[in-house]
Structure 1
Amino acid sequence: MSVRETAELFASFPNSGRVILAVSGGADSTALLVLAQRWRQRRTRGPELIAATVDHGLRPGSGSEAKAVGALARRLGVQHKILSWRGTKPKTGIEATARAARYRLLTELARQVGAEAIATAHTLDDQAETVLMRLASGSGPAGLAGMRPRDARDGLVLLRPFLGVRKARLVATLTRAGIAWVEDPMNADPAFARPRLRAAAAVLAREGLTAERVGRLAARMARYEDAVAAAVEAARAHIADPQRPGRLDGRALAAAPEEVALRLLTDAILGAGAPCTMEKPPRLQRLEAMWCDLRAAIAEGRATRRTLADALIAVDRDGTVSITVAPPRRSPQRQTTAASRGRRNAAKHPFTKPR
């Protein structure tokens, strides 16, 4: 990879401060460590680089692999930290749980050392897999925008300098430099969605679904997403009540473009504060179906109530939309117990016959 290309890849890095490099030891992240160090070495000004490896403890040898990354970092003159994910590991949903733990540990480290940014080694291949997975799950434009080269997360900047680079180029760079990397067997395990997509990559490419084309789709969706976000903010001023969170002018909401209305509804539902809603936004398909019902009620001037993602959405006859946390649902066991108690009480009542 040329000096000029490397400089372009890391142009988003700050000129001072500290940046955490997330380095697992795989080819992509090892290339991040090597190329970022080369880039920094050529500059008179730039951030201090700190490499961090998260040892998930999910398989034998992970600790040794983390130490090997540390040895490489020391040879390159880069400070290195090993972060261990401790505690009970789930039997299902391990990918998502491990990812959340990884970002939590990296964020904690960044705050401890005063770093303003975390850099990851996501490639164009990763971007294509992400977009295809989201397409398969029914995501809308926001999901199909994929990952951004620069993002904000928990008060930190998240940088992805390789998002336009194919993995094969990074592998070739390491091979030419004689630098080894680790192959994680989970990356080829068909029990997980990403390995299954990688196995199908050649077939998809023959049909025109190359990583480059899917990456361009993500970039276009990101542009669309930015335009919609601006339209949502413009509409928010006359649809949402800043003095009363969770209150929307339903008639103005119904008159807005549907995508804008759905975004404002989503924001209000997330703002309602239901714990599970804050962790995971409502599914788009369910949101669309609910909005269809609400819009009809607003047009007909009738009141209605719906629940979605632990939020209660109510429409008054005047068209006002109110969103609050839905009351807790009673479990079937509690309902049965209450019904049995009611029958016992009825049997004891002098004027009531048991049924």
Structure 2
Amino acid sequence: MLVAVSGGPDSVALLGLLAEWAREAGRPALHAATVDHGLRAASAAEAEGVAALCAQLGVPHRILLWDGAKPATGVQERARRARYALLVEEAQRLGGAVLVTAHTQDDQAETMLMRMARGSGPSGLAAMRERVRKGPIVLARPLLSIPKVRLLATAQARALPFVTDPSNGDLRFERVRWRALMPGLAQEGLSAERLALLAKRIARLDEAAAQRAKVLLQELSLQEPSLPALLLPVDDAPMLRLRFRALLSEPEEIGLRVVALALEQIGGEGGVANRLERLEACVEALRDAAREALATRRTLSGCVLSLAADGVLTLRREGPRRRGVHPAIS
């Protein structure tokens, strides 16, 4: 396992707990890594402090540097992407280690609120998952049900040294602003615990819907090779044919997910439709046409969706010379 340790109380507490856990026979080898983003003058010293703690605990440790020029805007998001890229690379170097992070119940609640404000659908509102694939490796978050105050108490009780990142109080950052609102929300009953529980329940529903959509996509996909000339792939662009009318008997959410999976399968831009609102509008137009046995055509995520009067939907990547030809809805 590779534990990501920033030097804050959450990750330091996780490091201490895992170091103790990993000493038992049959447990996997534990390694640690700290990403030095180079955004603050104290970051290098803080990373060295984590290295010293790891040495005391007998945990091999590496400092990973985010090199290059830093962005003027969107610093936290860019830093997050760089951090994960470096940690995934280190996990691969270790032979495919499981990456473990110290995200807490409070982090989960904040993430859910942020996504709610952005208009996320069920998959987004499920927030962070306890175990998920991150590119080629597995990412585990074992502390999602644990409040941050308990981890702070754990670090203090074990005399584990930690630092406090001053950016955690900088209201220029979105997550910090939501964090400042949490005490007031908790007074009204919307505590971190309840938000995290809601995220867990939404994740349960999301998984069920996702599995149903996968089964339906396979069942409704058409494989026959004989197609009208107008429906043949353009410039060998990937294509998929689907018995779309059969989706009218399914809940709308399932239909949305089947189309999103189909777009992803043929390489739609951004994987699934890059904005839920556009996907919803497109699928609703297709459903209306299918009910009336009408043919229609839409574009979405760099793909052309052609619905025939018989209810068969053909999805294909737009060819380079066809971009912008078909009317898109947004």
Normalised by the size of structure 2, how large is the TM-score?
Answer: 0.88
Q: Which runs of 5+ in 1 are unaligned?
A: 1-18, 333-355
Deviations 1:243-263 (CA, angstroms, capped at 9, x unpaired): 785321121122322111111
- The secondary structure found in structure 2 opposite 1:90 is coil
Q: 2:64 aligns with which of 74, 83, 88?
A: 83
Residue 250 (structure 2) aligns with? 256
- Shift, 1:160, TM fit: 0.7
- Shift, 1:109, TM fit: 1.0
Residue 186 (structure 1) aligns with? 167
Residue 304 (structure 1) aligns with? 296
Q: 1:247 aligns with which of 241, 244, 265?
A: 241
Once structures 1 and 2 are overlaid, which stretch shifts more, 242-251 or 292-301? 242-251
Residue 319 (structure 1) aligns with? 311
- What is the RMSD computed on CA atoms of the aligned residues? 2.1
Residue 24 (structure 1) aligns with? 6
Once structures 1 and 2 are overlaid, which stretch shifts more, 311-320 or 106-115? 311-320
- The secondary structure found in structure 1 opposite 2:138 is strand
Residue 344 (structure 1) aligns with? none
Instruction: Say yes or no: does 1:124 pair with 2:105.
Output: yes
Normalised by the size of structure 1, how large is the TM-score?
Answer: 0.82
Residue 282 (structure 1) aligns with? 274
Instruction: Say yes or no: does 1:147 pair with 2:128.
Output: yes
Deviations 1:157-212 (CA, angstroms, capped at 9, x unpaired): 21111111011011111112222212112222111111001100111101111011
Q: 1:206 aligns with which of 159, 178, 187?
A: 187
Separation in 2 of the partners of 1:325 and 1:166? 46
- Shift, 1:127, TM fit: 0.5
In structure 1, what residue type is equivalent to 2:315? Answer: I
Deviations 1:265-319 (CA, angstroms, capped at 9, x unpaired): 1111222324x423x7422222111111111112222222222232222212222
Q: Which runs of 5+ in 2 are unaligned?
A: 225-237, 325-330
- Shift, 1:87, TM fit: 2.2
Aligned partners of 1:277 and 1:310 also within 8 Å: no
Higher Rg: 1
Separation in 1 of the partners of 2:257 and 2:312? 17
Q: 1:238 aligns with which of 219, 226, 236?
A: 219
Distance 1:192-1:34 versus aligned 2 partners, 3 A rule: same
Distance 1:205-1:59 versus aligned 2 partners, 3 A rule: same
Residue 86 (structure 2) aligns with? 105
Q: How much identity, in percent, do the aligned residues show?
A: 46
What does 1:1-40 correspond to in 2, within 5 Å? Answer: 19-40=1-22
- The secondary structure found in structure 1 opposite 2:2 is strand
Residue 7 (structure 1) aligns with? none
Distance 1:97-1:241 versus aligned 2 partners, 3 A rule: farther
Distance 1:196-1:33 versus aligned 2 partners, 3 A rule: same
Aligned partners of 1:134 and 1:143 also within 8 Å: yes
Separation in 2 of the partners of 1:142 and 1:236? 18
Runs of 4+, deviation exceeding 4 Å: 242-245, 327-332
- The secondary structure found in structure 1 opposite 2:306 is strand
Separation in 2 of the partners of 1:242 and 1:221? 34
In structure 1, what residue type is equivalent to 2:15? Answer: L
What does 1:161-176 correspond to in 2, within 5 Å? Answer: 161-176=142-157
Distance 1:148-1:139 versus aligned 2 partners, 3 A rule: same
Separation in 2 of the partners of 1:84 and 1:242? 49
In structure 1, what residue type is equivalent to 2:291? Answer: A
Instruction: Say yes or no: does 1:267 pair with 2:261.
Output: yes
Q: Which has the higher helix share?
A: 1
Deviations 1:15-51 (CA, angstroms, capped at 9, x unpaired): xxxx00011111111111111112223x122011100
Separation in 2 of the partners of 1:223 and 1:23? 29
Once structures 1 and 2 are overlaid, which stretch shifts more, 197-206 or 310-319? 310-319
